[in-house]
């Protein structure tokens, strides 16, 4: 029996993955060198997808790593950590990711909506995990910080203010140099 006691560390998450229902990578972020090359990453993703996409059982152990997952319509969300990691911590990351996206996409968590909001996804993951450390676990906070602005400003008006703004910026910029 391994009595190894883990080095206490904030580095909890090894990877965050999102795949579509064909197992294609929608989003993948690896935080350490478990899978250094794209080839190994894709092989790992394929393995994960094959093992998980038919069951809705939330947690699995694959290639010596703990994988927590969740699926919705045509998307599969995965959070991966060491097999010694506290499974509930990984779960809280997964839930935070899913709930944040759900709010940002107005409960419309599916492939098409996500593709139209890829920047929102990028920013949200960036707010949840930073280099493997859990940065935030409260979806409200994440949504607040991502602060995606909607289309409330009319297009023409925006362009006018924009021109003025950028002109101002330009002057400032040239002064700074």
Partner 1 sequence: MIKKFDKKDEESGSGSNPFQHLEKSAVLQEARIFNETPINPRRCLHILTKIIYLLNQGEHFGTTEATEAFFAMTRLFQSNDQTLRRMCYLTIKEMANISEDVIIVTSSLTKDMTGKEDVYRGPAIRALCRITDTTMLQAIERYMKQAIVDKVPSVSSSALVSSLHMVKMSFDVVKRWVNEAQEAASSDNIMVQYHALGLLYHLRKNDRLAVTKMLNKFTKSGLKSPFAYCMMIRIASKLLEETEGGHDSPLFDFIESCLRNKHEMVVYEAASAIVHMPNCTARELAPAVSVLQLFCSSPKAALRYAAVRTLNKVAMKHPSAVTACNLDLENLITDSNRSIATLAITTLLKTGSESSVDRLMKQISSFVSEISDEFKVVVVQAISALCQKYPRKHSVMMNFLSNMLRDDGGFEYKRAIVDCIISIIEENPESKETGLAHLCEFIEDCEHTVLATKILHLLGKEGPRTPTPSKYIRFIFNRVVLESEAVRAAAVSALAKFGAQNDDLLPSVLVLMKRCMMDSDDEVRDRATFYMNVLQQKQKALNAAYIFNGLSVSVPGLEKSLHQYTLEPSEKPFDMKTVPLATAPITEQKTEIAPVATSKLPEKLAPCRQDIYQEQLAAIPEFQALGPLFKSSEPVQLTEAETEYVVRCIKHAFTNHMIFQFDCTNTLNDQLLQRVLVQMEPSEAYEVLNYVPAPSLPYSQPGSCYSLVRLPEDDPTAVSCTFSCTMKYLVRDCDPNTGEPDDDGYDDEYVLEDLEVTVADHIQKVLKPNFGAAWDEIGDDNEKEETFALATVRTLDEAVNNIISFLGMQPCERSDKVPENKNSHVLFLAGVFRGGHDVLVRARLALADGVTMQVTVRSTDENVVDVILASVG
Give the footprint of partner 1 on residues 22-51 (CB under 8 A): 25, 27-29, 38, 41-42, 51
Is 105 near partner 1 (CB under 8 A)? yes
Tell me the closest approach of the beta carbon of residue 19 to partner 1, in angstroms.
12
Binders of partner 1 among 65-84, rule CB under 8 A?
Answer: 65, 68, 83-84
Instruction: In whole angstroms, give the CA distance from residue 19 to residue 78.
Output: 8
Question: For partner 1, which is the closer residue by CB, 73 or 83?
Answer: 83
Is 169 near partner 1 (CB under 8 A)? yes
Binders of partner 1 among 128-167, rule CB under 8 A?
Answer: 130-131, 133-137, 141, 145-151, 159, 162-163, 165-167
Helix 87-104 and helix 118-128: axis angle, to 10°? 150
For the chain, report the end-to-end CA distance as a whole number of angstroms: 64
Among 43, 107, 116, 140, binds partner 1 (CB under 8 A): 116
Helices (H), the chain: 38-52, 87-104, 111-115, 118-128, 139-146, 155-176
Is 1 near partner 1 (CB under 8 A)? yes
Instruction: In whole angstroms, give the CA distance from residue 177 to residue 173.
Output: 6
Q: Is 50 helix (H, G, I), strand (E, B) or coil?
A: helix
């Amino acid at each position: 029996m391994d009595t190894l006691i883990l080095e206490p560390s904030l580095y909890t998450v090894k990877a965050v993955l999102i795949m579509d229902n064909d197992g294609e990578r929608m989003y993948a972020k690896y935080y350490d060198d478990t899978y250094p090359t794209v080839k190994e990453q894709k092989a790992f993703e394929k393995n994960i997808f094959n093992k998980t996409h038919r069951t809705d059982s939330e947690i699995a152990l694959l290639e010596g790593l703990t994988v927590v997952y969740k699926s919705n319509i045509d998307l599969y969300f995965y959070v991966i950590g060491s097999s010694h990691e506290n499974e509930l911590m990984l779960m809280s990351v997964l839930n935070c990711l899913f709930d944040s996206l759900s709010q940002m996409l107005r409960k419309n968590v599916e492939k098409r909506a996500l593709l139209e909001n890829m920047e929102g996804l990028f920013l949200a993951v960036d707010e949840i995990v930073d280099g493997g450390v859990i940065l935030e676990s409260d979806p409200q906070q994440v949504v607040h910080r991502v602060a995606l602005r909607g289309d409330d400003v009319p297009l023409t008006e925006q362009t006018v203010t924009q021109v003025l703004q950028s002109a101002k910026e330009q002057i400032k910029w040239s002064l700074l140099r």
